[in-house]
Structure 1
Amino acid sequence: METEVDLDRALEVATGLAAWASETIRGARTTAVRQKASPADIVTDTDEAVERHVREVLGEAFPTHGIVGEEYGTTEGARSAPTWVVDPVDGTSNFAHGIGWCSFSLGLAAPDGTPLLGVVADPWRGETFTAIRGGGAHLNGVPVHAADHTTLTGHLFLTEWAAHAHWPGMDTLLAALSARHCTVRVMGSTALSLVQVAAGRATAAAIGEFHHVDGLPALLIAQESGAIAHPTLPTYDEPLLLTAPGTSKEAATLWQTAGVNPHHPG
């Protein structure tokens, strides 16, 4: 049974897949859009083609590893082997409507769920965010760090709807942020929103429902940049607050007051 993995090799494979996926997404022509669970939950041929290729490459490179994907579910690995999580196109609605804000997300987690490696690629800007646990966060190979801001006022706060809907506490939180002159953006890709905190562009981000396939890689990248996550490792469908270190207390107070999460982040 496999208990360890060469993370440098895994990152090499993952970044190669990210480069291939970015080129594929950029070069894709209009394809049929099919509905999944609801009219706001859609899939394209590109989503499926990218995930199939990723599964093939990972299966050959790491045959004992598990894989969990957005489009094709779970492939079990060996008992003590890690598991890959992949979202081939995070932000399918943007992609399907010709809006250049979506991403490719790929990560690796230990059997206990601890994130080991994360890659998030922005096909439209030629940016690839990467992290290995304990090794810091990088953007196109250059180290990045969360912002040194000490207040939310005047800065960016990114969030996402839960598919087409506001999540509990979201409206209250947005009103409180507005009162502090903190500019909120809903961009349409969970992975890209979270890594903007890692890059120091956004001071904080929040999502109402954490999903590992699009959230785990970006979460690791942000934490490796110095960002503070509450909770540190959310469970499926649990809310997540991610902040620059100097704004953690302020954001945590708004988060708690809005009643989003019963856990006190501070």
Structure 2
Amino acid sequence: MEALQTQSGSPVPPLHVAIIMDGNGRWAKSRGLPRTAGHRRGAEAVREAVKAAADLGVSYLTLFGFSSENWKRPQGEVSDLMGLLRIYLRSEIKELHASGVRLCVVGERQQFAPDIVRLIEDAEKKTAANTKFTLVLALNYGGRQELVRAARRFAEDVAAGRCDPAELDEQAFAGKLFTAGIPDPDLLIRTSGEKRISNFLLWQSAYAEMVFLDVLWPDFSRTDLEAAMQEYQRRERRYGTVG
């Protein structure tokens, strides 16, 4: 099946791209640098990926920034990551807002320090009305934890008499997820050569096309995103039907 095309004849880009940004530590180690150097270079790659995705016609970009399992890393590394998150939320939001980007953060944010929570809330509020492009950051996020949270929220609604168990269907359940209102990803990319999704968007990625790249995240470029999108456009998406 040929790729869908726009009126201009070019292939239709995926509406939503999700990326597992992996390889910061290995990038740094291969250069004899501390892991923090890899994370800092990875933050630059984030900036480049957001611009490239918007330029290439993607409407939603979700980045796996910090998993719920990452708290198990050495305390010094976690502190450095939190520092980079603060820097990003303080320094990038003005430019994102000026470019028409809406920022959404998914995950259990209350585990972060109060100042980080305020920065997240302020950034979301400031960019809420923007419609050109949506950047979703998954922070303190875990797919299994998200599913448990959604089930608990629905059970609480049932216990409070706000709904009937018979009302639970896929649409209702999706409405209890962190990503409620955000379309499921069409394309999921993982860098570093690893071929697993590591507890990322388990429900939402049910029909996503997956592309695994050997490039380490700090080296990820527009060219890599274009290559992944071209691979996506070559595939036939049947959603369980016969081709």
Which is greater in Rg?
A: 2
More strand by share: 1
Q: TM-score, normalised by structure 2?
A: 0.27
Q: Taking CA–CA contacts closer than 8 Å with sequence separation of 6 or more, which of the two structures ends up with the larger relative contact order?
A: 2
